[in-house]
Each structure stands twice: as structure tokens, then as C-alpha cells.
Amino acid sequence: MPDTNRTLIVGPANVGKTTETARALERWLETRGSDGVVVLDFAPEVERDGRVLGGRLDRVTTVPDTVWSGVLDAHAPRSEGADDEAALALARDNAARARSLLDEAPADPTAVFVNDATIPFQADGAIEPLRRYCASATLVVANAFESDELGTQNPVSQHERAALEAFRTWADRVVELDEPHGRD
């Protein structure tokens, strides 16, 4: 993975997106140190059919105290919402709390690592707040869920797909994972 620009890692659940993001973080820290490093972890942890979908970066690596880390205690709208409107309400709550994390994050980051990047944008699909935050970073590595397994017709899934397409357009490089591997 390159040390500059914007990399997006996509794939279905449990194929190693978080692990690959953690490896990129570890490589950056080993070669460049923690100055200006920001971790934004938006991943909910949900169990479905006996398996955990998603997961935080700290499940696969240790994020040093010298790194600014913003962790969203995220809802999983499609799993937790009783209907489309309830799911959208949960997505809106995620979005509001993610905006607060972005407001608290250090200005002008050098490197930004984003776990489950589309979660804050499931309410409207507009990724501009994160794009704006990452504008000055030398490196951005983000991962995102990409699959039909959680539905396609509900509003949360439609907004997530719009956000994913915007991330794909914004990224300099897209890594598509489709086979389980790594430390997950």
C-alpha cells in the first residue's frame, strides 16, 4: 500500500478490511511515527447468525496513546432498526455523533485511518465532512463495507451505496477484498 494519497479498502463482512487498515497504520507508525496520526473508528460490532460483522481496529492492533483516536459507539441501523424509519433515525444519530468526533479531531492531520468509513453517511450519503477533514493529510486509508448481504432497497443501504461511490471517486486507489484472510 502506498505511503501517500487516498486508499479505499472495500469488501463484504469478514474479509480483512479492518486488518488491512490496521496493517497500514502499523507500517506508517513504524516508518514515520505517530505525529499527526488520526484514527477514526466508526465500526459497529454486531453479531448476526453467530458471527461478528465488523469490528474496531483495536480488535486487530494496538492504537498507541500517542495517536489521536476518535471512536464512535456506532449503531448498526439495519440490524437494530425495527423498520426503515427507525433505521434512518439510528443512522442520523451516528452521523451527528461522527460530526462531533470530526470537530474534536486535531486540525491538519498528516495521516488518517478510517475504519468503516460509510457508517456516518448512511443517513444521507454525503461524505463531504470527512473529505474536508482529510484534505490536508498526506495519507488516508479508509475501509468500507461493500455487499448486498444487508439489503439494497432500504434507505440506509441506498445512502451507504451513494457514500461508497463518492469514496470510490475520491480515492486514488481502491483495494477490493473478497476472500477471507488476515488476522480477523
Of 48 and 64, the structure prediction assigns the larger pLDDT to 64
The residue-averaged pLDDT of 61-71 equals: 96
The residue-averaged pLDDT of 140-168 equals: 86
Dump pLDDT digits (tens) for 120-139. Answer: 999 999 999 999 999 999 99
Residue 46 has pLDDT above 80, yes or no: no
The residue-averaged pLDDT of 158-179 equals: 93
Residue 11 has pLDDT above 70, yes or no: yes
The residue-averaged pLDDT of 136-158 equals: 83
The residue-averaged pLDDT of 64-72 equals: 97
Q: What's the rounded Cα separation, in Å, for the pair 102 and 124? A: 17
The pLDDT confidence band at residue 184, using thresholds 50, 70 and 90, is very low
CA torsion through residues 102, 99, 74, 15, sign:
negative
pTM here is 0.90
Single out the residue of 156, 162, 57, 160 nearest to residue 114, CA to CA.
Answer: 57
Residue 151 has pLDDT above 70, yes or no: no
CA torsion through residues 131, 133, 139, 144, sign:
negative
